[in-house]
Amino acid sequence: MTLTRRALLGYGATGLGLSVAGLPIRASAQVQDLTIAYNVNLPSWDPTVGPSAVNPTIQGIYQSVFDQYIGQKPDLSLTEGLLTDWGWTDDYSQVKLTVREGVKWHDGTEFTPEDVVWSLERAGNPETGNPIQFIWSTIGNFRIDGNVVTADVKQFDPTLIKWMGFLTGYVLPKHYMEEVGPEGFEAAPIGTGPYMVERFERNAFVRLKANPDYWGGAPEFETVTIKFVTDASSRVAEVESGASHVTLEIPYEEYDRLKQKPGLEGVTTPVSDIAMIFINDVEPMLDENVRRAMHHAIDKQLIVDRLLSGYGVPIDTLQTPQYVAYDPSIQVDYDPELAKELLAKSGYGPDNPVRFTIQTTRGFKPKDYEMIQAIVGLWRRVGIEAEIEVYEIAKHFELRAADQLAPAAFYNWGNAIGDPSTSTGHAMFGPTPHSVWDGQELIDMIGPLWGEPDEQKRIEGWKAVDRKIAEDGLVIPLIQYVQPIIHSAEIEVTPHVSGALHPHRMTRA
C-alpha cells in the first residue's frame, strides 16, 4: 500500500447519501455529500470516559471529530498528531511533548499546550472515569515552556506513547469543557478534527461538516452522514440500493456478491481483531496434554476457507503479523495424529473422550458460533467432547472478570496499538481482570516486562512468553479477522488495520 501525506493526514470523507426526506442520492463525480452505513451506535461523545471510550468499533467516529496526541497510520505505525515530537529523557525520568502550533478548535479558539496538560491530567485522575487511567497516571507534575510540555515519570510504562494514539488518547478543549461541563459537551461537542458535528440524532445518525481550517488539510467532501445501522442485512440493503455509499462488517458471502455488482467495489484488510479461545486453569485444562491436543486438532485454514470464504489469517500466537512482537517461527501445526497421541498419554481417546464445556457468542463476530461448531467437530475426531454454551458478550465480560469462564471460551481480542503488552500481556497475565490463566510461571515471565526500558529486551521477552504459551497450550489463537468494506465505485476507501473506518481518508475515485 502506498501512503501519501495527504491520505495520512486526512482529506477525504463520506457524507450525505440519504436526504432528509429519505430519498437515495447516488454518488457522482461532483458529489459533495456522502453516507456511511455504520455497524454500531454512538452512545457518548466524550472519547475519554466510560465504556464507549474503550470500544474500538466507534473510534473512527471519534477520530473524525477529535484529534489524538499522536496519529496512527493505516499500518498502525505512529505519525504526528497534535504532538509533533515526543519521547523520554535518557534516564526515563521525564517525558517531553512538542505541541503543534497553529491549530484551532471548532469554535475558532486557539489550541494551546494548556489543552494538552489539562487533558492528560484529567485522564490520569481516577475520579473522571477514564478506563485507561492506569496508563495516564504514570506521568505528572506537568510544566509548559513555549510549545513544549514536560512531565515527570512517576512509573515508567513503555507503552505510554503508543496509547497516545489509541483508546482515550484524545485532546479535549479545556476552555469549552470548563464552560459547558460534561452535559453541555455531550449536547454540542467540539474538537480539532477534520469534521465538525452539525447534527446528532441518537440511535439514528450523525451529520458531520468539513472543518475548512483543519491543520491536516480540509477534507475532500463537504458533509458526512454516518447512519447507525446495526443489522448486517440492513447495511447490505443500504449500500445495494444506493442509500449509503459505504458500509462494513457484512457477511463475507454478501461481500463477494456485492463487489461484483456494477457501481460497487470492495476492499478487505486484516485488522487487529483476532479470534481466540481462552483456556481457564480448571479441570481438565490443568492437563497439558489436553490443552496441546485441543490446539493441534484444529484445522484453522479449513475454517477460513469453508466458513469465512477465505477471509481470515490463521495465527498461532496472540500477535498478528502487524504487531511489533510477531514471531513467525512460533507455530502450532494442525496435526490430529499428534493430538491423539497427547490425549492417549492422559488416558483419553475417541472411545474415552475428555469432556468439558466451551462458551461462545453467536452473531457477535462473523461465523463465531459456526466456528466453534466446526472446532467441536474436529475435536470429536481425536477424543474430545465439548458441549457448546451460548452467551451474550456482556456475560463473557462478567464471567471473565470474576474468573469464572468455562474451561474453554471463545472471544474476539483487539490490539490496535500492536504492542504485546496489550495482546499477550492483558490476556495472559494472571493478576489482570482480563486473564483466566493464573499460572505462576507465566506471571513471573511477564511481570518484569511491564516496565522494561530496553525496547529490544522487552520485545524479545514478550516473544519468549509467546513461545512458552504456545509450547504449553495456554491459549488457542485461531485467526486474524479480515474486515470487509463495500463502497461506491466512485469513492476510494483506505482501510485501517485498527478496524476504524475513517471518513477523512476517503476520496473521490
| 324, 267 contact by CB (below 8 A) | no
pLDDT of 3 higher than 50: no
Per cent of the chain over pLDDT 90 is 83
In a domain, 444, yes or no: yes
Angle between the N-to-C axes of helices 455-472 and 288-296, in degrees from 0 to 180, rounded to the nearest 10: 90
Question: In the prediction, which pLDDT does 22 show?
Answer: 37
The residue with greater pLDDT, 423 or 394, is 423
Do 249 and 344 belong together in one domain?
A: no
Q: Which three cell numbers stand for residue 126?
A: 481516577
Residue from 443, 444, 449, 483 nearest 463 by CA: 449
| 371, 275 contact by CB (below 8 A) | yes
pLDDT digits (tens, 9 = 90+) for 212-233: 999 999 999 999 999 999 888 9
Do 90 and 230 belong together in one domain?
A: no
Do 282 and 398 belong together in one domain?
A: yes
In a domain, 48, yes or no: yes
CATH of the domain at 8: 3.40.190.10
Question: In the prediction, which pLDDT does 286 show?
Answer: 98
Confidence of residue 362 (pLDDT cuts 50, 70, 90): confident
pLDDT of 33 higher than 70: yes
Confidence of residue 4 (pLDDT cuts 50, 70, 90): very low
Do 84 and 39 belong together in one domain?
A: no
Do 282 and 403 belong together in one domain?
A: yes
Confidence of residue 31 (pLDDT cuts 50, 70, 90): low
Q: Which residues contact 488 (CB under 8 A, 6 or more apart)?
A: 26, 27, 239, 242, 245, 246, 263, 264, 265
Question: In the prediction, which pLDDT does 502 show?
Answer: 95
| 338, 383 contact by CB (below 8 A) | no
In a domain, 180, yes or no: no
Per cent of the chain over pLDDT 70 is 94
Question: In the prediction, which pLDDT does 363 show?
Answer: 79
Question: In the prediction, which pLDDT does 40 show?
Answer: 86
Regarding pTM above 0.85, the answer is no
In a domain, 421, yes or no: yes
pLDDT of 6 higher than 50: no
Domain boundary among 175, 209, 225: 175
CATH of the domain at 429: 3.10.105.10
Overall number of domains in the chain: 3
Do 360 and 285 belong together in one domain?
A: yes
pLDDT of 292 higher than 70: yes
In a domain, 187, yes or no: no
Domain boundary among 143, 175, 207: 175
Do 356 and 455 belong together in one domain?
A: yes
Domain that holds residue 212: 1-64+193-263+489-509
State the average pLDDT for the chain.
Answer: 91
Q: How many angstroms separate the CA atoms of 140 and 154, rounded? A: 7
In a domain, 365, yes or no: yes
Identify each DSSP E strand in 32-169 by its residue range: 33-38, 70-72, 78-80, 83-88, 94-99, 139-145, 148-153
- In this structure, the chain runs to a length of 509
pLDDT of 23 higher than 70: no
Q: Largest Cα–Cα distance in the chain?
A: 75
Do 58 and 73 belong together in one domain?
A: no
- Of 14-23, 39-48, 133-142, 406-415, the least confident: 14-23
pLDDT digits (tens, 9 = 90+) for 229-285: 988 899 999 999 999 999 999 889 999 999 999 999 999 999 999 999 999 999 999
Do 349 and 474 belong together in one domain?
A: yes
Q: For the residues of 356-405, what is the DSSP string, one character each? A: EEEEE-SSSSTTHHHHHHHHHHHHHHHTEEEEEEE--HHHHHHHHHTT--
Confidence of residue 30 (pLDDT cuts 50, 70, 90): low
Q: Which three cell numbers stand for residue 253?
A: 458471502
Q: Stretch 464-470: mean pLDDT, rounded?
A: 98
Do 380 and 469 belong together in one domain?
A: yes
Do 325 and 447 belong together in one domain?
A: yes
List beta partners, residue 110: 104
Do 257 and 279 belong together in one domain?
A: no
CA dihedral 213, 215, 218, 224 (to 10 degrees): -90
- Helix (H) / strand (E) containing 484: strand 475-488
User: What does residue 351 show for φ and ψ, rounded to 5 degrees?
Assistant: -85, -15
Report CA Rg, the chain. Answer: 24
Domain boundary among 175, 204, 231: 175
CATH of the domain at 111: 3.90.76.10
In a domain, 409, yes or no: yes
pLDDT of 18 higher than 90: no
- Of 81-85, 286-290, 453-457, the least confident: 453-457
In a domain, 59, yes or no: yes
